[in-house]
Amino acid sequence: MPSRPSALGYLVVSASNLDDWRAFGPGQLGLQRVDKSASTLAFRMDDRKQRLLVHADGGSTISAYGWEVESAAALDVLAAQVEAAGVKVERGSRALADERHVRDLVVLHDPGGNRIELFCEPAIASDPFAPGRNIAGFRTGALGLGHVVVQSADINPMIAFYRDVLGFGISDFYDKPFTACFFHLNPRHHSFALIENAKSQVHHLMMEYYAFDDMGHGWDIAQAEERVAVTMGRHAGDDMTSFYTWTPSGFMVESGWGGKCIDPETWVPGDRSAGPSIWGHDRHWMPPEKRKQARDMVLRNGHNGLRRPVQVIEGNFNLMPGICPWWDGTRPKD
């Protein structure tokens, strides 16, 4: 099996206006703002010194994808694997490593021209995470910062690159209402995905809240501030309940809760016939005929009674005491 990164570690964002990000990062998402310079802003979401780095360079995309590797030795192995596949790899400078708050990194590009930074040993902050709004925190750690989804006009060479050169494992795929392929690196169902679309740039990134209600409070903020890009819904792949907002850089952030974990050792990739979502997720970014197709798919899922258990983690649930008397009364007695 090829060597691969362990998680999505950080993202570098291009922006034209840092003031918009200063409001959006903490106020909508709950990130902790770390001011760096007149043209650079960083955000924390856990014990790491930074997870998101925003440069006011006039752009509107993700300009670098930071994929974490377990150790310096593992970084060398992965870099050699990429070079052996004929892909140019450059060692990052000390100044770049310092800016990213990592010990070491290498830089390469995928077939779509997206800049990839493979890195090891991220810096841990000495002070605790202080969220920008009142949230219990994000589900990160070994699962990484979340997931990121990239668009490409032709996803086949991209799939081959991420699977064969970087060693990403395929989780699942579908082709309606758009073509998409999902990849895992750790128990998070997907840390990365590709969507076929003429607009070759980032589609969205996903951050997962620890508490269901923190995601819900974000939904209220998104509606109040009119930045909803995709309405509330539940994905059929990772069982994530989520909604999407537009960032100041023109791509989307998915705010999620309750993502499924898989066993990467035994996972078998499959065709996700239910489509992207069990229910909900009206995608404002899609043309009307595609929105209609997606609506028909979730209505069909409902007609078919598609339902999944809620994915909860320790400290996030209480079992109902006993059995609901009303529900109990509707059940046939043994």
* Binding footprint of Fe ion on the chain (CB under 5 A): 206, 254
Beta pairing partners, 54: 13, 41
Report d(CA 269, CA 87) in Å as an integer: 26
CB of 178 to Fe ion, least distance (A): 13
Q: Give the pair of three-digit tokens for residue 270.
A: 């499959």
> Of 185, 80, 178, whose CA–CA distance to 143 is shortest?
185
- Closest separation in Å from C-beta 148 to Fe ion: 8
Instruction: Using the minimum distance from each CB to Fe ion, give the nearer residue, 172 or 254.
Output: 254
Specify the DSSP class assigned to residue 215.
Answer: H
CB closer to Fe ion out of 81 and 242: 242
Q: Smallest distance from the beta carbon of 138 to Fe ion, in angstroms?
A: 15
Say if CB 253 and CB 205 are below 8 A apart.
Answer: yes
Q: Which is nearer to Fe ion, 30 or 146 (CB)?
A: 146
Find the shortest distance in angstroms from Cβ 41 to Fe ion: 24
How many residues belong to the chain?
334
| Sign of CA pseudo-dihedral 193, 197, 198, 199 | negative
66 within 8 A of 48, measured Cβ to Cβ? no
Which residue from 134, 154, 227 is spatially nearest to 197, judged by alpha carbons? Answer: 154
* Of 75 and 206, CB closest to Fe ion: 206
> Minimum Å distance from CB 67 to Fe ion?
17
Q: Compute the least distance from the CB of residue 313 to Fe ion, in Å.
A: 19
Of 4 and 234, CB closest to Fe ion: 234
Q: Closest CB to Fe ion among 41 and 253?
A: 253
Contact between 232 and 243 under an 8 Å Cβ cutoff? The reply is: yes
Cα(223)–Cα(246) distance, integer angstroms = 12
Residues 6+ apart with CB under 8 A from 2: 81, 164, 165, 166, 167
> Residue 87 CB, nearest distance to Fe ion (Å)?
26
Nearer to Fe ion, 99 or 196 (CB): 196
